[in-house]
Every structure is written in C-alpha cells, then in structure tokens.
A and B are shown apart, each in its own frame.
Chain A
Amino acid sequence: MMRWPMFRDAAFVFAKDARIELRAKVTLRQVAPFVVSLLVLFGLAFDRLLVKDTAIADVRVDELPLAFVGPGIYWLGVLFSLVLLVQRSVSIETEDGAGTQLRLWGLDPAGVFLGKAGVVVMQLLFIQVLLCVGLIAMFDLQMTEPLLLVSVSVLATVGLAAVGSCYGALSAGLRVRETLLPVLLLPVTVPVLLAAVQAWQRALTGDVDSAWPWARILFVFVVVYVAFGILSYGALMEES
C-alpha cells in the first residue's frame, strides 16, 4: 500500500532541512573545508605511497597502491563527514525545542526519517564530488569504471545517511550526544564501509567482475538500513 502521507511529510521535512542548510551553509563553510584538510593530512601521512613512480627504501611504488589506498581515504572522508552532518542534522532539531515541535506537528515518522536522510544524502554527495576532485587533483587517481563507482557511491551514501539519521534520532535527547554519536554510529557503518571500499578497489584495479558482488552486498545492507529507519524512526523520536 502506498503511504502518501509518508512521502508528503518526507518532502516537507526535506524542504525544511534543505532550506535551513541553504541559509546556514554549514556543509559549504564547515564540512567542505574539513574534507579538504583531511585530504591534505592523508596526503602528508601516506606521503610517497600516494605519489606515483616514487621509491620507498629502494622499493619502487607504482600507481597500484594508490588504487588500494585511495578508496580507503575516500570512504573514511565520507564517514567522518557523515558524523559531522548527522550531528548538524540533530542540532537543528535540538535548538529551542524545535524537535519537540516537529513531533507535535504529527508528521508521519517514516516521512520525517526519509526527509532528514534525504538531505544528508544530498550533502554527502556534494562532499563526495569534492573528495573525487581532490583525489584526482592531488594524487592523480584514475577514476576508471565510472558507472560502477557512481552506483556504489549512491548506494553507500543512501545506506550511510539512513543509519546516520537513525542514530542521530537515538542520540538526540542525550546530553553527551556529540561524543556518543560517533561511538554509536561508526561501528554500524562498517558493513557499508567494507563493501564500498572493496567495490571501489576492485573497480580501480580493473577487476570489475569481482566488484559487482560487493555492490550487491551493499544493496542488501542499504535495504535493511532504510527499512529499519522507516519502521523504527517513530519509536526513536518518541524515546529520544
């Protein structure tokens, strides 16, 4: 059965959070610089491992390590951004009782979940464009198999946003949410991180056939996370 109030309320919450983001520009002014500085720090930490045609202690390093390290850097950057974006999504609702008012408007909780997760998806995709540009510009990463990479990215982003929004709602009522949220959230993102990194590594090393099974695993996790969010968000909102 189609749940029209759910989609109507999802559109309402999406528009609300998107409008708030457009006015506050937190993604552009805070999360984007954070991601750029993260790339620079990764570059300094991994040093010559990320630079083609160099040698470490007489061991020649070609572009292959970059194809392995690059996806890890990319998805860790996405994960750290997710934590910031979810904290922001929660803080919007905790200022001056706005979250309580949201509950008192009687919106469909599944719609609230989809709307809030939708905005996090939009913000994460923007961050990923930055990460891609950064990896290509700074480390000359060759983005082969773009269809596979984009498919995996979109899937993983939806999964991360879904699980992030659920844990954001869970932590919303806690005084220690800023510190507790990463502790709760990061472990449950491991399946998505693992599948996305594996799929990307295989795509970037030309092993496309073995990348698609990881994309399928990712799809299963995304379906589970989204279904969990739709079914449980009401209880999470009420108990937070």
Chain B
Amino acid sequence: MSAPARVHLDGVVALLGTFPALSGFSLTVPTPEVVILRGPNGAGKSTVLNVCSGLVPVQRGTVQILGSNIRVDRRSVRKHLGFLGHRTGLYDDLSVEQNVQLAARASQANIALVGPTLSRVGCDGRLAKLGVAHLSAGQRRRVALASLMVRRVPLWLLDEPHAALDTDGRDLLDEVIREAAVDGTTVLMATHDLDRADRLADRVVTIVGGRVVANDAVAHVS
C-alpha cells in the first residue's frame, strides 16, 4: 500500500469572514518536494498555508495533511508541521537560545540540536543570550528559522520567508530549504520572490482567485 500524500487538498472552500479566500482549491503533493505557491496579492496563497495548518477552518472539500483529516481534527497534525509566517512567533522576553529551546521542547526534539542550529543561522555566541526584543527584524527571522529547523518535522509551511532578510540571510534560507528537501521534508512556500523561488522549486503552483490556474514542474516555468 502506498504512503498517503504529504498534502492533499481537493475542492477546498475557505472563507475569511464572508470573503471566499479559497474557492475550489485542489493540490496534491505526494512526495517530499519544494512547492512554490505564487500569485497576485489576495490570491489565497497564505490561506492555503493556514488551511494546511488548521488555522483557517474549511467550509467544503477535503484536506488531508500527512494522512490526517484536518476537517475532523485540526490539532493533532500540528506536532508534525512547521510554520514560518509573517510574524515570527517568538517571545520577546526570552533570549534567542531560550526561544529555540522552547520550540525544541514543544516537539520533544533533541535539545542538543539547539546550539548547532543557532550556529547554522548565525545567531550563536553572545547573540544567543540576548533578549529577542533587542533583535532586528532580520535577526528575528533567523531565530524563527532556527526554531523551525530544530523541530525536525516532515512538512514546512513558509509564508514569504525571505521577507526582512538581507542577501546573506536569503541565501542561507535557500540553502536550508534545499537541505531540508534532501532530508525528506516537504516544503510548501508562498512567495513573490520568483527568481529565488524558481531556483528552489520542484514545482510551481499559480493561484488566482482562490483556485489553481497552473501547476507545473519547475522546468516548465518560463
């Protein structure tokens, strides 16, 4: 018997208030790969990620994430996915290191990975002991990335992850995504940074008006 698809959405309708953010959205990601969601502002890219994580309820359709039906139970799958959204989800009053330790403990991940992960994102040494409230937006983004990496989950949902990062930070993020994909992580990423996205992607999904209008392997993207 084949393993269930990492992500399977079929005919999904999701409302933000009374606005239909997704109107019959369908997408299946069967294997570990990097899938880029692109489209104009308000197309529904972020809503797709929020639906996959159970943050936005679904009115109609099927949502299976890592084999779990989100419409029946939108909480249990969350232990197995990582989400990096517009906000970093960090606690201002805790240090960089404490925030990443917290993410590791929440997932019962190996706490020994915290140090190497902070080194990987360039937030080790004295910076690790600094309160997150004192960091720049780009540094906060790096710490959020470390919190995502340390959990070692099979599905990453990234919403404009390059935002606020400098060129080095963007290069680092791309490297981390490539490594995660090689390690078997499925990455679903909404972005407007198409140059970088095309270099990373195995597949590019174009969304307009809450529907998929194109779903191409990266070689097919012009």
B:65-88 near A, CB below 8 Å: 74-81, 83, 85-88
Q: When each residue 3-15 of chain A gets 1 if its CB lies under 8 Å from chain B and 0 otherwise, what string results?
A: 0000000001000
* B77 (CB) vs chain A CBs: closest residue: A106
Q: Are B76 and A106 in contact (CB under 8 A)?
A: yes
B93 touches which one: A12, A24, A101, A109 (CB < 8 A)?
A24
B interface size (C-beta, 8 A): 29
Q: Does B21 make an interface contact (CB < 8 A)?
A: no
Q: Does A19 make an interface contact (CB < 8 A)?
A: yes
A100 touches which one: B87, B98, B102 (CB < 8 A)?
B87
* A234 (CB) vs chain B CBs: closest residue: B75
Question: A98-B89, A100-B87, A105-B107 are known contacts. Are A19 and B94 too (CB-CB below 8 A)?
Answer: yes
Question: A12-B105, A105-B107 are known contacts. Are A100 and B89 too (CB-CB below 8 A)?
Answer: yes
Q: Are A96 and B93 in contact (CB under 8 A)?
A: no
Hey, which chain A residues are within 8 Å of B77, CB to CB? 106
Q: When each residue 97-109 of chain A gets 1 if its CB lies under 8 Å from chain B and 0 otherwise, what string results?
A: 1101101111101
Hey, which chain A residues are within 8 Å of B91, CB to CB? 16, 20, 92, 95, 98
Question: A23-B131, A106-B75, A234-B75 are known contacts. Are A98 and B55 too (CB-CB below 8 A)?
Answer: no
How far apart sit A100 and B85, CA to CA, in the bound complex (Å)? Answer: 10
A:14-34 near B, CB below 8 Å: 16, 19-20, 23-24
A107: min CB distance to chain B, Å: 7
How far apart sit A106 and B74, CA to CA, in the bound complex (Å)? Answer: 9
Q: Does B106 make an interface contact (CB < 8 A)?
A: yes
How far apart sit A159 and B221, CA to CA, in the bound complex (Å)? Answer: 60
Hey, which chain A residues are within 8 Å of B87, CB to CB? 96-97, 100
Q: Does B190 make an interface contact (CB < 8 A)?
A: no
Interface band, chain A: 20 to 34
Q: Are B89 and A104 in contact (CB under 8 A)?
A: yes
Q: Are B93 and A97 in contact (CB under 8 A)?
A: no
How far apart sit A103 and B81, CA to CA, in the bound complex (Å)? Answer: 12
Q: Are A107 and B106 in contact (CB under 8 A)?
A: yes
Hey, which chain B residues are within 8 Å of A95, CB to CB? 91-92
How far apart sit A238 and B56, CA to CA, in the bound complex (Å)? Answer: 9
Question: A12-B106, A24-B93 are known contacts. Are A104 and B81 too (CB-CB below 8 A)?
Answer: yes
A103 touches which one: B78, B93, B102 (CB < 8 A)?
B78
Q: When each residue 84-125 of chain B gets 1 if its CB lies under 8 Å from chain A and 0 otherwise, what string results?
A: 011111111110001000110111000000000000000000
A:85-120 near B, CB below 8 Å: 92, 95-98, 100-101, 103-107, 109
Q: Are B75 and A101 in contact (CB under 8 A)?
A: no
How far apart sit A24 and B93, CA to CA, in the bound complex (Å)? Answer: 6
How far apart sit A102 and B90, CA to CA, in the bound complex (Å)? Answer: 10
Q: Does B185 make an interface contact (CB < 8 A)?
A: no
Q: Are A105 and B85 in contact (CB under 8 A)?
A: no
* A16 (CB) vs chain B CBs: closest residue: B102
Question: A106-B77, A106-B78, A106-B79 are known contacts. Are A101 and B105 too (CB-CB below 8 A)?
Answer: no
Q: Does B47 make an interface contact (CB < 8 A)?
A: no
How far apart sit A20 and B140, CA to CA, in the bound complex (Å)? Answer: 18
Q: Are B89 and A23 in contact (CB under 8 A)?
A: no
Chain A residues within 8 Å of B, Cβ to Cβ: 12, 16, 19-20, 23-24, 92, 95-98, 100-101, 103-107, 109, 234, 238
